[in-house]
C-alpha cells in the first residue's frame, strides 16, 4: 500500500459513524502517554510499537473497516501497511490533528478506559446509587455499626492496598457471592474500588438486584480514604467463599435474570451461537468467558477468551476493539454473564448476548493460556536469534542491546547496559547509537523484538540479532539484571501512570483525577457520541 493510497475520512464523518453505532475499529496508534493526554472518546489505544501483538485479539475480522487515528503524527501510513501485510483489507485514516477533531465538534478526553469510566459517572448522575464519604464510613466502623466492606477490584489490585477490613469480591461476582459474607438484611453493604467507577457500578447493580436492603458506595474509593487522612491496609488476602449455597445461588440467578430482562439482554443457544460463528466473516464476533482468571486457567471452553466480568466492564476497550460488534458472554453459574451483559448493553454494546446453559458442557482440562499472537505469524528468522549465553559471552564493545519493553517493565529489570526505545521510534533513535557493534534486540518475551528484527536491520544498516526468548529467557538463566530508567534513547512517553494505582501517588494527582471524573457527564453530553441507556427501574423499587 503506497502512502498516497491511504484513504482519509474527515473527523465530522467519523463522528457520524460513532453516533450511528456502525461496526468499525477506531484505533489510536500513538503511544499511550500521548493517548492519555487527549484522544477521541471511543478510540482504542493500540500503539504502533505493539500493533502486531494485540491486533488479532482486538480486531479478529480481517475485512472490518479500520479507522486509524494518529493526531497528525504521521503514524497511520505505517500502521496501514503493517495491517495490509497481516491480511486486513479495509484500513483508512482519520484526517487531521487533535485540533481538527475538536473543530468538528469532538471532545478530547484524557486518561484511559474513558468510555467505561464516564459510564460510571453517567450512572451516578442519572441513577444516583447511595454513597457515603470516607469520614462517614470510618465513623460507622468506629461506632461498631453492622457494616460489611467489599472491595470490588480484582484480587491483584485489592492485595496491593485496600480499606482496612474490606473483603475482596470482584465486580460481577457480587450478586453471586456477596450473600455468603453479608450476615443479614440489616447489614450495611459498602462497596468500593480505588476511585469511583467500579464502586458506583457495583452499588447500582446491587440496588437493581433487590438482594440487599442497605447499600452504599464508598465515595471516591481508596483515593477518598487516603485524602481523608486514613491509612490503607496492604497485603490483605480476604476473599469471598468460592462455594455458593443453593438458595443464595437461586436468588442471585433470579436477580441477574431480572436485570438482564429489563436491559433487553438476548439469550442465545448453541445453535444460534454456531450461526453467529459462521457469519463471523461478515459481523465481528467476540466470545468471552467472564469467570475469574483462576477458573479460566483451571478449565476453559474452546474459542472463549478470558475477560473477567468486572474488568470487561471497567476496560471494555482492552478486550473488544471493534465498535458495534457482536459479543457473546458465558459463565458456569448463570449469574456473572447476565450481570456483565446487562452493564455492557447499558454502555451501548447493544449486540451483547449470553450463552444459554453456559460453559459447563464446553469446559476442557486446564492448559496454557493463549499467547498474545500465534508464534507462526511472526517467526523471527532463525539466523537472527542468539541465546542468552551467546549474548553474555560477547564483549561489551561488540554488542549494543536495545530493549523494546514498555518503560515500567524496563525499569523493573533489563539486561545490563540495554537501551530503552519503543519500536515506533526506531527511525529517530537508531542514529544516536554507537556506529560499531552488533545491534541486539530484546523485549519481555522476545516476540516484539523478533518482529522488529528484520526492519531494524534495514533501518540501521548493521548486523542485527534478537535475544531468543527475550529478557525473560535472560532472567530465567539467573543472569545479572539492571533496574531503573537508565538509558532511554528518546523521551519516555509510552505509558500512563494511573493516579489510583499503587501507594505512592501525590494528593494533588489524586484530587485532579477525582475532579476529572466529576466533569465527565458534561463532557460526554458535549461530545454526543456515547450510546448509554440505563436499566428500566425494577418494579417496586425502593425510592
* Of the candidates 14, 17, 22, 1, the residue with the CA atom closest to the CA atom of residue 76: 1
CA torsion angle 253 256 261 266 (round to 10): -80
CA distances from 32 to 79, 245, 444, 487 (A): 15, 44, 18, 20
Q: Which three three-digit cell numbers place residue 324? A: 458495534
84-137 pLDDT, tens digit per residue, is 999 999 999 999 999 999 999 999 999 999 999 999 999 999 999 999 999 999
Q: Which residues, in sequence order, are CB contacts of 148 under 8 Å at separation 6+?
A: 167, 181, 182, 183, 187, 188, 189, 190
Instruction: Give the burial class of 189: count Cβ atoms within 10 A of its Cβ; 0-12 exposed, 13-18 middle, 19 or more buried.
Output: buried
Distance from C-alpha of 180 to C-alpha of 208, rounded to nearest angstrom = 19
Grid cell 534486540 in the structure block, residue? 441
385-396 pLDDT, tens digit per residue, is 999 999 999 987
What secondary structure, in 3-state letters, does 319-383 show?
A: CCCCECCEEEEECCCCCHHHHHHHHHHHHCCCCEEEECCCCCCCEEECCCCCCCCCHHHHCCCHH
232-244 pLDDT, tens digit per residue, is 999 999 999 999 9
Distance from C-alpha of 375 to C-alpha of 379, rounded to nearest angstrom = 6
Contact assessment for residue 494 and residue 36, using Cβ atoms and an 8 Å cutoff: no
Across 49-135, the runs of DSSP E, i.e. the strands, are: 66-69, 91-94, 131-132
- The pLDDT, as a whole number, for residue 145 is 97
- The pLDDT, as a whole number, for residue 2 is 40
Q: The pTM is what?
A: 0.92
Mean residue pLDDT of the chain comes to 93
- The pLDDT, as a whole number, for residue 367 is 54
Distance from C-alpha of 375 to C-alpha of 380, rounded to nearest angstrom = 9
CA torsion angle 339 344 346 351 (round to 10): -110
Distance from C-alpha of 312 to C-alpha of 285, rounded to nearest angstrom = 15
> By three-state DSSP, how is residue 46 classified?
coil
Distance from C-alpha of 216 to C-alpha of 12, rounded to nearest angstrom = 41
Q: Which three three-digit cell numbers place residue 284? A: 465481528
CB atoms within 10 A of CB 483: 11
Contact assessment for residue 396 and residue 417, using Cβ atoms and an 8 Å cutoff: yes
Q: Which three three-digit cell numbers place residue 461? A: 544498516
- The pLDDT, as a whole number, for residue 160 is 95
Sign (positive/negative) of CA torsion 113, 324, 342, 131?
Answer: positive
> By three-state DSSP, how is residue 302 classified?
coil
In order along its 543 residues, the chain shows pLDDT tens digits of 444 579 999 999 999 999 999 999 999 999 999 999 999 999 999 999 999 999 999 999 999 999 999 999 999 999 999 999 999 999 999 999 999 999 999 999 999 999 999 999 999 999 999 999 999 999 999 999 999 999 999 999 999 999 999 999 998 899 999 999 998 999 999 999 999 999 999 999 999 999 999 999 999 999 999 999 999 999 999 999 999 999 999 999 999 999 999 999 999 999 999 999 999 999 999 999 999 999 999 999 999 999 999 999 999 999 999 999 999 999 999 999 999 999 999 999 999 999 999 998 898 876 544 544 544 466 788 999 999 999 999 987 789 999 999 999 999 999 999 999 999 999 989 888 877 789 999 999 999 999 999 999 888 888 999 999 999 999 999 999 999 999 999 999 999 877 766 666 788 888 988 999 999 999 999 999 999 999 876 655 533
- The pLDDT, as a whole number, for residue 503 is 63
DSSP string, 413-433: -B-TT-EE--GGGHHHHGGGS
- The pLDDT, as a whole number, for residue 502 is 62
Contact assessment for residue 195 and residue 227, using Cβ atoms and an 8 Å cutoff: no
Distance from C-alpha of 462 to C-alpha of 439, rounded to nearest angstrom = 7
All domains of the chain, ordered by start, with CATH? 3-112 (3.40.250.10), 118-243 (3.40.250.10), 254-361 (3.40.250.10), 382-476 (3.40.250.10)
DSSP string, 75-100: -HHHHHHHHHHTT---EEEE-S-HHH
Phi/psi at 365 (5° precision): -60, 155
CB atoms within 10 A of CB 403: 27
Sheet holding 131-132, edge to edge: 131-132, 215-218, 188-192, 147-151, 167-168
Contact assessment for residue 493 and residue 34, using Cβ atoms and an 8 Å cutoff: yes
Distance from C-alpha of 75 to C-alpha of 94, rounded to nearest angstrom = 11
Across 89-231, the runs of DSSP E, i.e. the strands, are: 91-94, 131-132, 147-151, 167-168, 188-192, 215-218
Instruction: Give the burial class of 356: count Cβ atoms within 10 A of its Cβ; 0-12 exposed, 13-18 middle, 19 or more buried.
Output: middle
Amino acid at each position: 500500500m503506497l502512502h498516497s493510497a491511504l484513504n482519509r475520512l474527515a473527523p465530522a464523518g467519523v463522528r457520524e459513524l460513532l453516533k450511528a453505532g456502525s461496526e468499525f475499529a477506531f484505533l489510536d496508534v500513538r503511544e499511550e502517554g500521548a493517548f492519555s493526554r487527549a484522544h477521541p472518546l471511543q478510540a482504542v489505544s493500540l500503539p504502533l510499537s505493539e500493533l502486531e501483538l494485540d491486533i488479532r485479539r482486538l480486531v479478529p475480522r480481517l475485512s472490518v473497516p479500520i479507522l486509524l487515528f494518529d493526531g497528525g503524527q504521521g503514524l497511520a501510513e505505517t500502521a496501514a501497511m503493517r495491517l495490509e501485510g497481516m491480511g486486513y483489507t479495509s484500513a483508512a485514516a482519520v484526517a487531521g490533528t487533535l485540533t481538527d477533531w475538536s473543530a468538528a465538534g469532538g471532545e478530547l478526553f484524557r486518561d484511559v478506559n474513558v468510555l467505561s469510566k464516564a459510564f460510571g459517572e453517567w450512572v451516578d448522575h442519572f441513577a444516583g446509587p447511595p454513597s457515603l464519604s470516607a469520614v462517614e464510613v470510618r465513623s460507622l466502623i468506629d461506632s461498631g455499626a453492622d457494616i460489611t466492606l467489599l472491595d470490588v477490584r480484582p484480587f491483584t489490585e485489592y492485595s496491593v492496598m485496600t480499606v482496612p477490613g474490606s473483603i475482596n469480591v470482584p465486580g460481577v461476582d457480587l450478586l453471586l457471592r456477596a450473600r455468603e459474607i453479608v450476615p443479614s438484611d440489616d447489614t450495611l453493604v459498602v462497596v468500593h474500588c480505588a476511585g469511583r467507577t467500579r464502586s458506583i457500578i457495583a452499588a447500582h447493580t446491587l440496588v437493581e438486584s433487590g438482594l440487599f436492603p442497605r447499600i452504599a458506595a464508598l465515595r471516591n474509593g481508596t483515593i477518598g480514604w487516603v485524602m481523608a487522612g486514613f491509612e490503607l491496609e496492604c497485603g490483605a488476602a480476604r476473599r469471598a467463599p468460592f462455594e455458593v449455597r443453593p438458595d443464595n445461588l437461586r436468588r442471585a440467578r433470579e436477580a441477574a435474570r431480572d436485570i438482564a430482562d429489563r436491559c433487553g439482554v438476548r439469550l442465545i443457544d448453541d445453535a444460534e451461537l454456531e450461526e453467529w460463528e459462521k457469519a463471523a466473516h461478515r459481523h465481528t464476533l467476540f466470545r468471552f468467558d467472564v469467570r475469574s482468571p483462576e477458573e479460566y486457567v483451571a478449565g476453559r471452553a474452546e474459542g472463549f477468551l478470558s475477560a473477567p466480568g468486572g474488568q470487561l466492564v471497567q476496560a471494555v476497550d482492552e478486550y473488544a476493539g471493534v465498535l458495534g460488534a457482536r459479543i457473546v458472554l458465558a459463565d458456569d453459574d448463570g449469574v456473572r454473564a447476565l450481570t456483565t451483559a446487562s452493564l455492557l448493553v447499558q454502555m451501548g454494546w447493544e449486540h451483547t448476548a449470553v450463552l444459554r446453559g453456559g460453559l459447563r458442557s464446553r469446559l476442557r482440562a486446564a492448559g496454557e493460556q493463549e499467547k498474545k499472537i500465534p508464534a507462526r505469524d511472526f517467526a523471527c528468522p532463525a539466523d537472527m536469534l542468539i541465546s542468552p549465553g551467546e549474548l553474555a559471552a560477547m564483549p561489551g564493545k561488540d554488542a549494543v542491546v536495545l530493549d523494546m519493553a514498555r518503560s515500567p517493565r524496563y525499569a523493573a529489570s533489563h539486561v545490563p547496559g540495554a537501551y530503552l526505545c519503543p519500536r515506533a521510534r526506531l527511525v529517530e533513535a537508531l542514529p544516536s547509537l554507537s556506529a560499531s557493534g552488533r545491534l541486539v534486540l530484546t523485549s519481555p518475551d522476545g516476540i516484539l523484538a523478533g518482529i522488529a528484527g528484520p526492519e531494524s536491520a534495514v533501518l540501521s544498516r548493521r548486523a542485527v540479532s534478537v535475544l531468543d526468548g527475550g529478557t525473560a529467557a535472560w532472567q530465567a538463566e539467573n543472569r545479572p539484571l539492571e533496574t531503573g530508567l537508565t538509558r532511554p534513547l528518546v523521551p519516555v512517553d509510552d505509558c500512563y501512570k494511573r493516579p489510583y494505582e499503587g501507594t505512592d501517588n501525590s494528593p494533588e494527582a489524586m484530587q485532579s483525577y477525582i475532579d476529572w471524573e466529576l466533569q465527565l457527564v458534561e463532557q460526554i453530553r458535549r461530545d454526543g457520541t456515547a450510546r448509554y441507556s440505563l436499566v428500566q427501574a425494577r418494579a417496586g423499587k425502593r425510592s
